[in-house]
Amino acid sequence: MSLHPGKMTLRFYPYELKLAHTFTVSSYSRTTTPDVQVEIDFDGYTGYGEASMPPYLGHSTESVSSFLSKVDLSQFSSPFMLEDIMEYLDSLSDSDAPAKAAIDIALHDLTGKILGAPLYRIWGYNPDKAGPTTFTIGIDTEDIVREKTLETAGKYKILKVKVGLDTDEQMIRAIRSVSDLPLAVDANQGWKDRSKALDEIFWLKEQGVVLVEQPLAKERIDDTAWLTERSPLPIIADEAVQRLKDIPKLKGAYSGINIKLMKCTGLLEARKMIAYARAEGMTVMLGCMTETSCACTAAAHLAPAADFCDIDGNLLITNDLFKGMIVRDGDMVLPQGPGLGLTKL
């Protein structure tokens, strides 16, 4: 770093992600995901960041671009002013988490590059503890579910299955006909009746399911607390938790939280959420959206601090821009380069 570094400059451009398979969850289907790539330059270094906007969250290329156009990073002396910069971004709007996450990720990449060390090393995490990621199988016909499951053979140690429609049992049986891997299930708020949900969870446990994500609508805190109290499996909040401030009201209602950078504004807040969840004895899961290896690798740097990881967004697209975290024999392998450790493809 020079003694008189220049100002930070921010660039961004839209980039449409193409999905390898049509993706169906309990509420919608899609084949592409809008995305915005961010680059921040400082003192001869470039940090990469990304905003991914699955349409159901209400963000778009336009909303992200509009937010990023308002951001003036030249008022900050360096990318190390992370707390100040994120506070400034929150002062610009109450929403726009993906755009804020894109800046946060790029700043973390920059600071790591300037320090010459990978983020996990700066944070004191053991990269050998990154552990496995689940690979997600969307809701589909039994034949396609069987085919997709067979494609994963030998590559993963745990699968995640989208449930929440009236085909759950067929989905699980189709997978079980070709795989005995442990399963996580994600109902995406799709179950309506708490007693039926509890019966299904007991059945799922017999089928080798190890955790349940967002069983009921996010507003139904009391019903979810009822379920969690009786459930033989951990119940993880996803749609019900966005940021740090959402966790206190979930205490007792959920066993844990699914932290995603695009929901929580990035790595700085994600690390605070992990610390808070740990203090409350909650399970920590890390998730992602459909993203390039930029945002997925950013999330993967936190993996040594999590109990479960679902960081497969980069594996679900056909037009990745980077090489970063890879999955080997089912485990995530973190890159060794400084910052995020990305290589541009």
Instruction: By CB under 5 A, name the binding residues for Mg ion.
Output: 186, 213, 238
Instruction: Tell me the closest approach of the beta carbon of residue 253 to Mg ion, in angstroms.
Output: 16
Using the minimum distance from each CB to Mg ion, give the nearer residue, 175 or 340.
175
Nearer to Mg ion, 186 or 312 (CB): 186
CB of 303 to Mg ion, least distance (A): 17
Which tokens sit at 241? 């938790």
Question: Which positions ≥6 away from 130 have C-beta within 8 Å?
Answer: 300, 303, 304, 309, 325, 331, 332, 333, 334
> Whose Cβ is closer to Mg ion: residue 41's or residue 213's?
213
Of the candidates 321, 252, 247, 315, the residue with the CA atom closest to the CA atom of residue 285: 247
Find the largest Cα–Cα distance for the chain. 64
Residue with tokens 């990720």: 105
Q: In the bound complex, what is the minimum distance in angstroms from residue 98's beta carbon to Mg ion?
A: 16
Check: CB of residue 135 under 8 Å from CB of residue 155: yes
Which residue do the tokens 């601090």 mark?
Answer: 305
State in angstroms the smallest separation of the CB of 197 from Mg ion.
15
Tell me the chain's radius of gyration from C-alpha atoms: 20
Closest to Mg ion by CB, 57 vs 117, is 57
Q: Which residue is nearest to Mg ion (CB)?
A: 238
Nearer to Mg ion, 17 or 289 (CB): 289
Backbone φ, ψ for residue 101 (5° rounding)? -65, -40
Q: How far is the CB of 25 from Mg ion (least distance, A)?
A: 8
